[in-house]
Amino acid sequence: MAKYKKKRARELKHDRFRDTTMLLADRLADRVADRRRQILYVLIGLVVLAVGIYIFVRWRTKHADEARAAMGRAIAINIADIAQAPPPGSRDPVFTTPQERSERAVQEFQKVAAKYGEPYRTEARYFIATNELLTNRLKAENDLQALSQEGTEVGVLAKFALAQAKESDGNLDEAAKLYMQIASTKSNVVTAETANLRLASVYSKQGKKKEAADILFNIVSAARAARDKDGKPVPEPAASREATQELLKIDPARHAQLPPPPAPLGLSTF
């Protein structure tokens, strides 16, 4: 009897071990199955995300290509020739008057502004305003004024166009103020030299010959003193050459005081 009890105890102990082992195995299998499902869900999510990103990038690229093409068509109209008839064999747009060209350009740029986002919308608004200077001047100047407040390249271009419009209207004080603002921004789209050239022209129209001569003299002197990273003179830019000619007209004596222009590349002076 004692032997039976010991044997039965061993069997029960073995059964408990087996039951515990099987329970642990079942739990481990359940966890692995759950982990597999989680991994599968994550993989499916990543695939969906990747497909979504791919579709968005393709759409955005296509949309940008369409916007650039639309801007290109509008700009082609904006710079089209004015003639009574197109040249033989020409496929480029031709208009009989600047007003006709501006009206057509405005229509094309309005399509761009209505359909596409930035930066195309703002660029289109700028071109619309510059063309409306011929067809609706008050609206154009108001639109350029609004655009000029933006701290972008288009904003600088709008301010310069507005300054030119003020200058042509005879509002010289306002034009001078705008040109000075542009010169102080040190922009690459409208350089300080370009703005100062126009400012000198305004001063000349106002009878401020000395102020105009000072600006022109400084433009040329700075350009002729400029050096590259190797210390060599850089070619004189077009703005400096134009300033030289304007200074000669305004103040020949001051023109004679200019430093000599840099020697052509490859030559040296002794």
* Helix, strand, coil fractions of the chain, as percent rounded to 5: 75, 0, 25
Give 11's pLDDT tier (boundaries 50, 70, 90): very low
Report in angstroms the alpha-carbon separations of 205 from 171, 173, 191. 11, 11, 22
Residue 91: predicted pLDDT = 79
Our measurement of the distance from residue 221's CA atom to the centroid of its chain's CA atoms, rounded to an integer in Å, reads 31
Mean pLDDT calculated for residue range 201-206: 96
Mean pLDDT calculated for residue range 16-28: 57
Residue 59: predicted pLDDT = 47
Average pLDDT, the chain: 83
Residue 151: predicted pLDDT = 87
Closest CA to 181 of 210, 153, 160: 160
Sign of the CA dihedral with 252 first, then 258, 263, and 264 last: negative
Give 107's pLDDT tier (boundaries 50, 70, 90): very high
Residue 124: predicted pLDDT = 95
The answer, yes or no, to whether residue 4 has pLDDT greater than 50, is: no
Dist. CA 70–CA 77, nearest whole Å: 11
pLDDT digits (tens, 9 = 90+) for 219-242: 999 999 999 898 889 888 899 999
- Output Rg (C-alpha) for the chain, integer angstroms: 37
| Backbone φ and ψ of 85, nearest 5° | -155, 145
pTM: 0.74
